[in-house]
Structure 1
């Protein structure tokens, strides 16, 4: 019987990746609960599990009394009965009453199993949350295990844990395959006592771009170059505004890197997404003009803010050469949208010479 128990213990340890001492404690607690259901009035229950010596014991402890009819038979025992367990016991001693695991029957065993299962889930939940708290809002490596043909949702492995990766958080246009190694942004942890914690990962958020640059550009990692703003249309284009805190360091050049090596590494990870790196400016007009790159800008006129209740919308009007109008606006308005997201301004783009109707 003991061998079967410890074989099962070893299987649980391997299957759940839980340290043996922790698992034993969880099992002891589960068995204690099961015994308590059969012996609700017993106050002294002992469960001893020692896998090193192949020892598994469960017992009740009772105080030895000198009267035949004890007041509390669940916790007291007459000395003559006690001596059937230990001939040398004396009044006032405590004696162990061994319990046979088979005595609990199917129901008690099932209760113990369910309790152990619940405790293991609690432990796994706490362990998973602890493991990912340090990774929250960071980029981690993942291996694609499976892609669902219909939905294109994927299952990836991060530190031996399987994480569900939904399609809408994948970069539009990218095709994931089993075995691919990718980087993902840990957006958060959704924790519920009724369910397994859900690790939310993404490759579409703009913070993902920021973290990738921090990995590839040492000057960003050490604070020499600072990312002031990011705007992104995932899968198409991103704009990133940077500034140098050292007059001897070119912020844009640091992000691009020798022979474009740094920005190329980010672009490759983003499945070919284009990236514009511009220099941030405290002057709103200058910043807006830079944000509309690669289009040329003739003039930026800041307009009065539009106030709608508690919301304040900053506005501006930008004049560009006629031949730059489509470039400034971009395909489906993408360039203007990204510039607006980067600067926080609603941008109206007009040609230098009004086009006659």
Structure 2
């Protein structure tokens, strides 16, 4: 090696961000192994690379002893003092043993070490970049697919999307540009492995952050997301400022904001509901678009019984129970939905449920039942008397 090699290392340090000293130390350690393997040596040796000229020298390290048993590892005190009179027993003496053709071995070794270190450094840089993007959204280009994964190019690395993370209503083709949610970043022997998803609820949240400035700047907060990818999703939002409508902010003017997200998710239906710390209000909102009569809350079991009009029962439950299932995931409360007639039959919610029980006797005896009975009241008699009076002539 020469000064040109050292200049090349300096360029690598600048371009790849790899410390030149780390590479040189790695080369020195590799040259020790190469020396012992190629020259069949069992000596303790040290390889030194001059940081300016790039010159390589090999030194055998021997221990000073009074009586030598292994000349490869030991040197007598008398011989050591011939080199330097200050050597004492147990000191280490270094004797240069650089072979004549060691430069060829050194060049091959250096090339291998530099290539390996550059590759490791690049992998480390990629890992550092992507570990900070975990649970974030990125745009990639579909490259290929097999029976296990869709392979998506994210620029510096190829990410993997497993079958169970794909949307069932999507078909992925070569060169398709897609947005995906990074679920996991791992270090492996082959470099960083990036796992992505199109079905994760986090994708919906990140898409809203991209499309709704109020969510991005924190004015509107996404409280919870529940999703059945490709079919329907629910997202609850909240704003501390009472003057801000969180649902309207997400919907956008003429629904443009939410429509952009629906288009990205290939027509997936999205319900945006207002979050509330009151479970009655929150569960009622979460069952949108169905109407709710009342919500009975069991705090201990974290369970709610929701009463809906008879004609709204199927809408509240949803197709294959989807609406109720998503609402339960969104709120974190168990939800049991009953129609008004079912609730009345079971006795848990009478239809005429006032603060005081409804009095049947009072209804029968005291309340007028028809317009015929109302005719007997004084007010109708007074009206009749007024009608019997002769009309005055306006001319008078």
TM range (shorter): 0.7 to 0.9
Change (3 A) 1:222 1:111: closer
1:187 to 162, 172, 183: 183
1:292 to 287, 312, 325: 287
SS in 2 for 1:354: helix
**Do the aligned partners of 2:28 and 2:47 also contact (CA within 8 Å) in 1?**
no
Change (3 A) 1:236 1:152: farther
Q: Give the drift of 1:126.
A: 2.7
| In structure 1, C-alpha distance between the alignment counterparts of 2:164 and 2:203, rounded to whole Å | 15
Corresponding residue for 1:325? 313
Q: Give the drift of 1:153.
A: 2.1
**Do the aligned partners of 2:23 and 2:117 also contact (CA within 8 Å) in 1?**
no
Q: Give the drift of 1:317.
A: 0.9
Change (3 A) 1:103 1:145: closer
Corresponding residue for 2:155? 159
1:113-262 superposed matches below 5 A:
113=112, 122-148=120-146, 151=147, 153-192=149-188, 196-262=191-257
Deviates more, 1:136-145 or 1:347-356: 347-356
Change (3 A) 1:238 1:25: farther
Q: Give the drift of 1:95.
A: 8.0
Q: Give the drift of 1:246.
A: 2.0
Q: Give the drift of 1:300.
A: 1.0
**Do the aligned partners of 1:43 and 1:75 also contact (CA within 8 Å) in 2?**
no
Deviation per CA, 1:96-135: give whole Å up to 9, x if none.
6544248869xxx79995x777656644543332121211
| In structure 1, C-alpha distance between the alignment counterparts of 2:23 and 2:143, rounded to whole Å | 28
Deviates more, 1:182-191 or 1:216-225: 182-191
Q: Give the drift of 1:265.
A: 2.0
Structure 2 residues without counterparts, runs of 5 or longer: 62-67, 76-81, 85-92, 346-396
Q: Give the drift of 1:138.
A: 1.0
Q: Give the drift of 1:205.
A: 1.4
| In structure 2, C-alpha distance between the alignment counterparts of 1:180 and 1:20, rounded to whole Å | 39
Change (3 A) 1:204 1:23: farther
| In structure 2, C-alpha distance between the alignment counterparts of 1:211 and 1:345, rounded to whole Å | 24
Corresponding residue for 1:31? 31
Structure 1 residues without counterparts, runs of 5 or longer: 64-69, 78-89, 307-313
TM-score computed with the length of structure 1 as normaliser: 0.73
Change (3 A) 1:348 1:250: same
Higher strand fraction (1 or 2): 1
Q: Does 1:342 align with 2:342?
A: no
Count of residues in Structure 1 that have an aligned counterpart in Structure 2: 313
Change (3 A) 1:187 1:171: same
| In structure 2, C-alpha distance between the alignment counterparts of 1:141 and 1:28, rounded to whole Å | 43
Q: Give the drift of 1:289.
A: 0.8
**Do the aligned partners of 1:136 and 1:188 also contact (CA within 8 Å) in 2?**
yes
TM-score computed with the length of structure 2 as normaliser: 0.67
Higher relative contact order (CA 8 A, sep 6+): 1
| In structure 2, C-alpha distance between the alignment counterparts of 1:202 and 1:41, rounded to whole Å | 55
Change (3 A) 1:319 1:42: same
Measured on the aligned residues, the alpha-carbon RMSD in Å equals 4.0
| In structure 1, C-alpha distance between the alignment counterparts of 2:24 and 2:126, rounded to whole Å | 19
2:339 to 318, 339, 351: 351
Q: Which has the larger radius of gyration?
A: 2
Corresponding residue for 1:44? 46
